[in-house]
Amino acid sequence: MTHAPVVLVIAGTDSSGGAGLTRDVRVLAESGVRAAPVVTAVTAQSNTSVRVVHALPPEMIRAQIVTALETQAIAAVKIGMLANRAIVEAVAESLPPRSVVPIVLDPVLNASSGSSLLDNAGRIALRELLLPKVSIVTPNIPEAAILVDEPVANDEQATLDQAQRILRMGPESVLIKGGHGAGAACTDTLVSAAQPPLRLSLERFPATLRGTGCALAAAIAAGLARGLPLPYACRFAKNYVAAELAAASRAASAA
């Protein structure tokens, strides 16, 4: 792993280990790349609740990013939990151009338990300051609705319409994750200005896991760091998460 590509991963910690930086670093390692971690917030949370969130000072986050970029070659960036507007601003100001380093944004708005992980001012800043700087943003269906201030999409056309609205906010591509959808297949939809929508479908598994959004975005960043074109990086990440869900389903059946 000494000469493996390095992904700069910007996210919060999760004391349960189910999501956040812990999950990101594991996914990156299993995907053949190294992680340069930047901590944005420290959380005390479980599978059912977020008890405490301590956001780091923006100057500390800015210093972590600048130091990481100065210390080693960064092949991709993955962004997760940002907590508040000041942190969004610090990250947006510190990022390298996406024309030089691909940037993956997982818009972490709420925890799986429903608790907010980005305040309202932070959500506005994410739309205005960060989306125009990223290569791809990976909202699930409810997150996409929040980003465009609309009801949750309930069919494929509504999902595509919301993806197009997000695309107009400035990212190069949008991947709407279909885990919150219905049907036997779980379909993610990749939308960009350069190509027709691409649908990535795999079997829907009965198991649920915290941190699958973190894992998917981290795996996309790993694929991009290893030189995969974006559609192939998204497919690689989709297969990675599907394998984790399949394993969880087998474990639940055996219990």
pTM for the full predicted model? 0.93
pLDDT by residue (tens digit) across 194-206? 889 999 887 777 6
Residue 1 has pLDDT above 60, yes or no: no
Local structure of 183: helix, strand or coil: coil
Give the start-to-end residue ranges of the domains of the chain: 6-254
Exposed, middle or buried, 70 (CB in 10 Å: 0-12/13-18/19+)? exposed
pLDDT by residue (tens digit) across 98-109? 999 999 999 988
**Listed residue (241, 232, 155) closest to 198, CA to CA:** 232
CATH of 6-254, one of 3.40.50.10860, 3.40.50.740, 3.40.1190.20, 3.40.50.450: 3.40.1190.20
Confidence (pLDDT) at 135: 98
Residues 184 and 255: their CA atoms lie apart, in Å, by: 23
pLDDT by residue (tens digit) across 183-232? 667 889 999 988 899 998 877 776 677 788 999 999 999 999 999 999 99
Confidence (pLDDT) at 220: 98
